[in-house]
Amino acid sequence: MKHVSEKKERDRSVVEALLWRYGPMSRAEIRQLTQLRWSVISGTVKELLREQKLREVGRSTNPLGRKQVLLRLNEEHRFIAVVKFDLEKVVAAVTNLRPQIKTRVTESTCIHGGVDGLVQQLLSTVQAAIQESHLAPEKLAGIGIADPGLVNVREGISVLSSTLDFWRDVPLRKIFEDQFKIPVMLESDTRAEALAERVLGAGGNAEEMIFIDYGTGIGAGIAVQGKILHGNDWVAGEVGHIPMLENGPPCSCGSFGCLEALVGASALATRCRKAVQEGSKSRALELANGKVGNITGWTVLQAAKLGDKTCIAIIEDLVKYLGLGISTLVNLFNPSVVVLDHRLSMAGQGFLDQIAWVVKKQALGPSTANLEFRFAKLGSDAALLGAALNVLQRTFEIPALKPPHFMVERSVIDDVAAQRRAWANNSTGALPDALR
C-alpha cells in the first residue's frame, strides 16, 4: 500500500480515486461516501479543478432539490504507456486514464537477439508509442507491461516463458524504471486480460470470475472478491497443466497428458494436419490455402463452425477436456461468470453452449446454479488495457497515512524485545551485539 505523510495529500487521493472509480458525481455525493468535512471537499475540489485534474460536466438529474454540479476526473490529464509481447508481435500503446487507447505501435518480435535484443525492442517500441502520442514526458503516470510467461509481480521479474526459451529471470521492471524514471507494473498477459475483461469487458465487474486464455498454452485468470489471484509463487491459474490422461502426449512443462498438450491450439493443428496427410477431406486445408503446414488451431475452429466433420471431431475433444478443466476451477472457486478467450468465438455460440453443458454436468450443482458463460469482448486489446488498469489501480489507490515517528520507534523496540525473549528461551551463550 502507498503511504503519505499529510492528511491533505490523502484527502486529494481519496477524491481522485472516488471519481476514477465511480464518477461523475457531485460534491454532496463525495461527502456522503467519504464523510470528509464540507470545507475539506470544497478546498480539495477547487485545487484539483485549478490543476485541471478534474472537470465540471453538467448537473445531476435528481427529480427533487437543487441540481448539483457533477465532477469528473479529467481522463486526458495524464497518460499510461503499455506494452505486450509474445513470440510473434510486440505491441506498445498509450492510453488515457479511462483507459482508452490513443496511439499504437506494432512490430514483429525480434527473437534472434536473445534477452538483450528483445529488451531493447520493448524499450524502443514503448518510446515510439510515446513519441507518436506527442505527449510531454511529465504527462506519463506509469508504464504497464503484459508478459507472455510467468512473472514475479512483487519483484517485477519475468521468471520464464514456455514460448520464448531464452526469456528467464529478466528484471524487466527495473530496466524500464531505470530508462523512463517513472513507476512500472509488470503482470502476466493472462492476468492482465482477466483484469481488463472483469472491469471493462464481459466480466461485468463480477467479484468472482474465471477468464480462460486459450492459445498454444491454456491459462486462467481468477478473480476472487474482486482481486486477481496470483498465488504464493505467482503461478495461480495454470489450468493448462492439469493432468488429463496418464499416458497422454508430452507437454512443454515436462509432464504428460496435460490439458494444453491435448487440446491447446498447437495440439488441434497437429491433429488436423495428421488427419489430412492420412487422406481425410477437410475444409481446414481449403482455409489454409491448400498448404497442410498452414493449418492452425484457429483454422480448425473455423472449419468446425462451417460443418467440417474432421474438425468437428477434433473440437468435440476440445469441448470435453476444456470443459473438464473449467469444471475443476468452478468447483474450487465458485465464480459467477466464466469468460472464454475471444478467439474461441470462431467456433460459434454452439461451442460456448457445449462448454457450459459439460461444466454443468461435471461440476457440483450449487457451483453452477447461477453460473454464466460468455465470450470475451475486448479482443486483442485486452492485455494492453489490463496492463493500463494495473497501473491505474496503483495510481488511484487510496494511501494510508504514515504512522508517527514514536509509533515506528515503539515497533522497533517491541521487535528487539521479542528477539531477546526468543534468544533467552533457546540459547545459553552471550547476548548478540545486535540485541544489546
pLDDT digits (tens, 9 = 90+) for 280-307: 999 999 999 999 999 999 999 999 999 9
Question: What are the φ and ψ backbone dihedral angles of 326, each rounded to 5 degrees?
Answer: -65, -35
Task: Give the residue numbers marked as catalytic.
Answer: 189
CA distance 367 to 364: 5
Judged by phi (left if over 0) then psi (alpha if -120 to 50, else beta), residue 322 lies in: alpha
Average the pLDDT over each of 2-6, 126-130, 345-349 and give the range with the smallest value. 2-6
Q: Is the pLDDT of residue 431 over 60?
A: no
pLDDT digits (tens, 9 = 90+) for 78-108: 999 999 999 999 999 999 999 999 999 999 9
Supply the pLDDT for residue 417.
Answer: 58
Q: Is the pLDDT of residue 134 over 70?
A: yes
Supply the pLDDT for residue 315.
Answer: 97
CA distance 36 to 165: 53
Supply the pLDDT for residue 64.
Answer: 59
- Strands 79-85 and 140-147 come out as parallel
Q: Is the pLDDT of residue 59 over 90?
A: no
> For 155-171, what is the mean pLDDT?
94
Confidence of residue 60 (pLDDT cuts 50, 70, 90): confident
> For 157-181, what is the mean pLDDT?
95
Q: How many helices (H) and strands (E) does the chain have?
A: 15, 17
pLDDT digits (tens, 9 = 90+) for 346-357: 999 999 999 999
DSSP state of 311: H
322 grid coordinates: 476444456
Q: What percent of the chain has pLDDT over 90?
A: 81
Supply the pLDDT for residue 31.
Answer: 93
pLDDT digits (tens, 9 = 90+) for 184-239: 999 999 999 999 999 999 999 999 999 999 998 999 999 999 999 999 999 999 99
